[in-house]
Amino acid sequence: MRGVIGRFWRPRHPVLGRFACPVRAQRRPTRHLPADLRCRHARRYRQLRRHRVGLGGRLALLDAPHAAIILNQPSLLKFQPMVQKKGLIVANDSLIDRATFERDGDVHIVWIPATEMAKEIAGTDRSTNMVMFGAFLGANPIVQVESAEAILRQFATGSKKALLERNIAALHAGLDRAQAAVAAT
């Protein structure tokens, strides 16, 4: 796993960063891109690498990540050229026009109707990021699902506790959908 680009809707909810903790426990450093280095659409940008990132404590930008979680059309247009050949793109089929995808054959893409699934399972589209993260884990299991659930339970406090079971259900729905899509190819 050389790198991950992720865009999540809620600016104060670093979902992928929380799930990167088990990766960090496996001695894979993570880095967060400061606001001045992030693009306009990506509110959360995390890099997961097997080896140390950056020189002298400075962050090295990832020019060609191995995988991308893409939730909307502007993010697809910006990030699809960056993903390495034979990389992975997990894309939200609900908000992205498939005709604009330009890289057939050189990357593996998993189309997930994440917004529709989130509305159906959790009753709100705010769980779309959980569906997409579950789909990412189904296509590229860098973190065990049990670890992801444990982290969700750890950080679900106060008003977030009411959404916990729906978010876990959304995570599993995305995981199952992606595993079925990967098995079909």
Tens digit of pLDDT for each residue in 147-180? 999 998 988 888 878 889 999 999 999 999 999 9
Q: Is 168 exposed, middle or buried (0-12, 13-18, 19+ CB in 10 A)?
A: buried
pTM of the predicted model as reported, rounded to 2 decimal places: 0.70
In this predicted structure, the answer to whether residue 113 has a pLDDT above a threshold of 90 is: yes
Per-residue model confidence (pLDDT) at position 94: 94
CA distance 116 to 139: 19
Residue 103: which pLDDT band, with cuts at 50, 70 and 90?
confident
Per-residue model confidence (pLDDT) at position 161: 83
Backbone angles phi, psi at 47, to 5 degrees: -120, 130
Cβ–Cβ under 8 Å, residues 6 and 45: yes
* Of the candidates 135, 142, 143, 137, the residue with the CA atom closest to the CA atom of residue 178: 135
Domains located in the chain, CATH noted: 4-184 (3.40.920.10)
Q: How many residues does the chain have?
A: 185
3-state secondary structure of 109: strand
CA distance 149 to 93: 25
Question: What is the share, in percent, of the chain residues with pLDDT greater than 70?
Answer: 66
Residue 41: which pLDDT band, with cuts at 50, 70 and 90?
very low
